[in-house]
């Protein structure tokens, strides 16, 4: 208990000394019951609770925090939900069937969403594309211009969701191998992988050759430093080593508009030409890693896809690994380039 200033007490009908008391209590807030320890101001003479704005706000803030932790989302995430769609408060509220003033109150932090509204926020936070379901239910309430605007905004969100989902899949596929000999003892680094592809595809490169350039970069770095650059596992394929799930990798980079894949007829087969659409970021790599990329690029500069494929077939890494199996980085020791 701590002494505070003198304050008027209605029960005693006079100015009295006050004390701050800590006590366990139970509150029901927005349909949820919480146990907490609150601090209240009391009359030292009769123990009557006295009003104190600071302490009352302290209790309310605790309730808001506990409610948010148990039931809902913090204020910044509530704001981000609408912002991710790029929709005005007016359009967003009408899609949900709420009033604009409701959105204003929630996003200003003056009010916490009730349980039904919070449940909708939670759905949208977990599955942003869910807003399209609400829109379809109330589409008739929007004019043609508004409908086109909303459809455009929602399609962008759906595309981002697809792109992020693919990136997450790649992360998961490679993560199970990270920090093992299958990945060169490195954690999977998607930024380094992306920029390695961007580096080798700056001027355009055939897919088969690109796969080998990635392999030689990671394995040469492991040969010299006992660590791969990207933390990516490689698999033995008919035409030489390739990154695990390389088709998913390339598809993801293309959908994220990082590369462009062009298909060209060369004789009786189709060649895939890959070209960077973003600038390569050298700062992602340390000095030695970038030197490795330059060395591999220079070594194979005059090699076509067939040449580099034939060269990789001379590697113990390819000879001593079964088809479709992961190539151990142990084979980097006998790599044919230094």
The 10s digit of each residue's pLDDT in 213-224 is 999 999 999 999
Answer with the residue of higher pLDDT: 90 or 163.
90
pLDDT tops 70 at residue 59: yes
pLDDT band at 170 (very low <50, low <70, confident <90, very high): confident
HSE at residue 326, side-chain half, CA atoms within 13 A, is 17
Indicate where the chain has its CATH 3.10.20 domain(s): 2-70
What's the confidence (pLDDT) of residue 190?
Answer: 87
What's the confidence (pLDDT) of residue 160?
Answer: 65
Helices (H), 201-331: 207-225, 246-255, 287-299, 305-312, 316-319
What's the confidence (pLDDT) of residue 153?
Answer: 84
Residue 103 backbone phi and psi in degrees, to 5: -65, -40
What's the confidence (pLDDT) of residue 31?
Answer: 73
3-state secondary structure of 286: coil
Beta strand segments in 147-292, E: 205-206, 234-237, 240-243, 259-266, 269-276
Answer with the residue of higher pLDDT: 279 or 265.
279
CA distance 103 to 40: 33
Q: Give the C-alpha distances (Å, rounded to integers) separating 136 from 21, 95, 98, 282.
A: 54, 9, 15, 46
For the stretch 183-211, what's the b/e string if a residue is b when 16 or more beta carbons lie within 10 angstroms of its beta carbon? bbbbebbbebbbbbbbbbbeeebbbbbbb
281-302: pLDDT as tens digits: 999 999 999 999 999 999 999 9
In CATH, the number for domain 2-70 is 3.10.20
Contacts of 110 (CB under 8 A, 6+ apart): none
CA distance 115 to 95: 19
- Average the pLDDT over 37-49 and give the result: 92
What's the confidence (pLDDT) of residue 1?
Answer: 44
Query: Which of the given ranges, 9-23, 66-80, 116-130, has the highest pLDDT on average?
Result: 9-23
pLDDT tops 60 at residue 2: no
pLDDT tops 50 at residue 114: yes
Answer with the residue of higher pLDDT: 177 or 161.
177
pLDDT tops 80 at residue 7: yes
Average confidence score pLDDT of the chain: 89
HSE at residue 20, side-chain half, CA atoms within 13 A, is 13
CA distance 174 to 184: 12
pLDDT band at 65 (very low <50, low <70, confident <90, very high): confident
What's the confidence (pLDDT) of residue 159?
Answer: 62
**Closest by CA position to 317, among listed 306, 307, 328:** 328
């Amino acid at each position: 208990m701590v002494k505070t200033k003198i304050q008027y007490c209605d029960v005693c009908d006079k100015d009295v000394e006050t004390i701050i008391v800590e006590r366990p209590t139970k509150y029901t807030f927005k349909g949820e019951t919480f146990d907490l320890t609150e601090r209240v101001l009391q009359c030292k003479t009769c123990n009557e609770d006295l009003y104190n704005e600071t302490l009352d706000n302290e209790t309310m803030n605790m309730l808001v925090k506990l409610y948010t932790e148990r039931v809902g989302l913090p204020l910044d995430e509530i704001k981000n939900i609408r912002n991710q769609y790029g929709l005005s408060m007016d359009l967003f509220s009408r899609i949900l069937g709420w009033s604009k003033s409701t959105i204003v109150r929630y996003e200003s932090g003056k009010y916490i969403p009730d349980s039904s509204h919070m449940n909708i926020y939670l759905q949208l936070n977990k599955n942003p594309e869910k807003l399209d379901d609400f829109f379809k239910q109330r589409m008739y309430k929007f004019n043609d211009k508004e409908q086109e605007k909303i459809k455009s905004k929602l399609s962008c969100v759906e595309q981002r969701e697809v792109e992020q989902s693919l990136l997450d899949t790649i992360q998961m596929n490679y993560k199970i191998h990270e920090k093992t000999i299958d990945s060169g003892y490195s954690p999977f680094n998607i930024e380094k992988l992306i920029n390695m592809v961007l580096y080798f595809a700056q001027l355009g490169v055939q897919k088969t050759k690109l796969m080998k350039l990635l392999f030689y970069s990671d394995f040469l770095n492991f040969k010299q430093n006992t660590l791969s650059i990207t933390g990516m596992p490689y698999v033995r394929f008919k035409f030489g080593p390739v990154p695990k799930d390389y088709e998913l990798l390339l598809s993801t980079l293309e959908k994220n508009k990082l590369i462009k894949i062009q298909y060209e007829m060369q004789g009786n087969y189709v060649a895939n030409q890959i070209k960077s659409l973003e600038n390569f970021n050298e700062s992602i790599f340390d000095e030695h890693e970038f030197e490795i990329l330059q060395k591999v690029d220079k070594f194979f500069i005059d090699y076509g896809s067939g040449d580099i494929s034939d060269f990789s077939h001379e590697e113990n890494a390819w000879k001593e690994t079964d088809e479709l199996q992961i190539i151990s980085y142990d084979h980097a020791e006998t790599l044919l380039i230094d």
